[in-house]
Amino acid sequence: GVSLELVITVGATALIAIIAFSAPENHQPISVLFTGGESGDKASYLLAWLAAALGPFFGLIGVESGADVAEETKDARRVIPKTMF
């Protein structure tokens, strides 16, 4: 069920991360994720990673949110389309 999917997803992600970070060519330390890039900007890559993570989060949660709102609303067929705009 869901717990098996979670275990497989976390395990596969950890395996890919281990392989990527242990590759001998182009080896970078973990600190490269928290330091600025070479473009002259001192912003951290961490902010970009967090912003990129919002897309899938809203993609997964956003699909269900319409149904959740409709369950709690009187006359949902009329009210929800008005509130979406």
At 2-34, the pLDDT tens digits run: 788 888 889 999 998 888 777 767 667 777 777
How high is the pLDDT of residue 36? 63
pLDDT tens track for 38-70: 655 556 677 777 788 888 877 777 777 777 778
Q: Tokens representing 71?
A: 């369950």
CA distance 20 to 13: 10
DSSP code for 75? T
Q: Tokens representing 65?
A: 């949110």
Cβ neighbours of residue 33 closer than 8 Å, sequence gap 6 or more:
44, 45, 46, 49
Full-model pTM: 0.33
> In the chain, what is the greatest distance between 2 CA atoms, to the nearest angstrom?
61
